[in-house]
Amino acid sequence: MHIGIVGAGFVGVCTALQLSLRGHRVEVFERRGGIATESSFAGAGVLCPTALPSLAQHPHWRRRSPWNAQARRQARARRQADWLARQQVLARLFELGEHWLEQLEAEHRLECEQTRGWLVLRPDERSLRQSDADAAHLTSLGLPHQILGPDELASAEPALASARPAAGGLWLPQIRVVNTRQLAQQLRLLAQQTGTRFHLNTEVEDIDPRHPTWLSHGGPGAGPRQETRFDAVVLCTGTASIPWLRAQGLRLPLQAAPGCSLTAPLHLPEAMPDPAPRGAITDAQTGLTLSRMGERVRITDPWADLSPNGRPAIQTQRRMYATLERWFPEAGHGNPAQAWQGTRAKLPDDAPVLGPSPWPGLWLNLGHGDQGSALAGGCAQLLANALEGRPALEGQDLLGCTRW
């Protein structure tokens, strides 16, 4: 088949590669000048397929709009009978995707900054009480984890020995922490080698619902717009899809959730213990995550409002650096940091939309929220199977757009 993909974030690149490896002719359209430049650019890189209950809501959701309304909608979704079944489908998707990506990395010698281990740190007794609910959720999905006491934290993250005392933590030793933009760049090269064409700086006009597989596209200085007819089109556009879907009457409750990060070089003295995190650590009190990226550390705030100047606000940056200083006081962060802010598309029931749209030939693969990097590989496989008419994964229908 000749398949068009709109959006070249990590989800779009994985989808393109999966289809290309199966022998399809694939073209990818991306409005930016590079791949993985929006939601996929500088996230925490924690490849976990599910949102932990204790981290799913804004720390101050009770007194902040619009977080309070979104939290109530999320709470209603979590009370639905099929919410757990949907999360179990995501856990199976995650396993499929991890196996596929690890195979690719081994066969093609792909290299990117990555490590293993995610520690959800509980600064005080109040936050420690949330570990039981998180652990029960992880158990229901078959994800290995361990509740750690204050004296056990350094076994997971040795550099915490020099930090202020904490009440405990939740340790997920097998969760990968990956620089997903680096990985996306390598997957793109692999996709190109198998025949995928990437059209960068190329906008796709509003899709005509009467002919959803005919894409009109063009870019600055590219001359007249072109129209290409495909056998199928896949939207992997995240928040960019919201206006078009709503205009056509498909009112998915997609939320453009803001967030930001700072990625700073680490001060790593020779012949001294490593003063920085080995994997990723999330402060359960603030929601901020510290992720190891080679010889750098990335501080991610999943709740920060967007700043009009394109960088995290000074107050936000101070809070982010204070979190690093609290838990890793010897890490050092005096060098200039790379700052990023953006949005990611989320749905209240903590799961993406995956599968056919109401318009024949148009498919959806969006709304992954913070789990996009973890689910991209598995979603690509399920979508490719559906396009080829292969049997669906049990429960895959729970991810369809008709659930809203």
pLDDT for position 334:
62
d(CA 263, CA 293): 8
pLDDT for position 40:
95
Structural domain boundaries in the chain: 2-40+182-254+349-403, 114-177+256-344
What is the helix (H) or strand (E) element at residue 292, kind and residue range?
strand 289-293
Angle at which helices 131-141 and 83-108 pack, to 10 degrees?
Answer: 70
pLDDT for position 272:
80
pLDDT for position 269:
77
Give the ranges where 208-363 is alpha helix by DSSP (H).
242-247, 314-327
d(CA 81, CA 52): 18
Q: What are phi and psi of 318, to 5 degrees?
A: -60, -40
CB 163 within 8 A of CB 276: no
Mean pLDDT for back-to-back runs of 10 residues, the chain (404 residues): 98 99 98 95 97 79 56 69 93 98 96 97 89 95 96 94 86 98 98 98 89 91 81 95 88 91 88 90 95 96 91 94 92 80 93 96 97 98 98 95 88
The CATH class, in words, for 114-177+256-344 is alpha beta
Residue with tokens 């995650």: 94
**Token pair of 180 as six digits:** 């997903």
Find residue 169's DSSP bridge partners.
121, 148
Domain 2-40+182-254+349-403 has CATH 3.40.50.300: no
Residue with tokens 């890490």: 331
Counting runs of H as helices and runs of E as strands, what totals does the chain give? 10, 18
What SS3 state is found at 16? helix
DSSP state of 122: E
pLDDT for position 221:
58
pLDDT for position 172:
99
In 10 A of CB 214, how many CB atoms?
A: 15
The sign of the dihedral angle between the CA atoms of 281, 282, 283, 288 is: positive
- Name the region of 17 (left: φ>0; alpha: ψ -120 to 50; beta: rest): alpha
**Token pair of 46 as six digits:** 């924690």
pTM of the complete model: 0.94
